[in-house]
Amino acid sequence: MLRKKTLTLLIIFVSLFVIFTSCGGGGAKVEQGSQTLGQELIDLDKAYKDGIISEKQYNDSKKALIKKHK
């Protein structure tokens, strides 16, 4: 039960992190982070393969990362 709650909280955290880091904010200059798109995709893929995020969360996050780096 505790493991399931921890996993759920981790999924929520990763999802919120991806959502909030892909937002530019109201006219503020957004600079690229230190991670490359490739590294972010590798990290996302690992989270999916490790069962931390669902397939839907993986696909949504992947689209958001690619959009962020365009």
Instruction: Express each pLDDT in 18-58 by its tens digit.
Output: 666 665 555 545 455 568 999 999 999 999 999 999 999 99
Residue 69 lies in a domain: yes
Residue 41 lies in a domain: yes
| Structural domains in the chain (count) | 1
Which has more pLDDT, 37 or 7? 37
Residue 7 lies in a domain: no
pLDDT score recorded for residue 6: 73
Residue 28 lies in a domain: no
pLDDT score recorded for residue 70: 82
pLDDT score recorded for residue 25: 55
Q: Which domain holds residue 55?
A: 36-70
Residue 40 lies in a domain: yes
Residue 48 lies in a domain: yes
Residue 49 lies in a domain: yes
pLDDT score recorded for residue 16: 65
Contacts 24+ apart (CB under 8 A), 28-37: 32/69, 37/65, 37/66, 37/69
Residue 3 lies in a domain: no
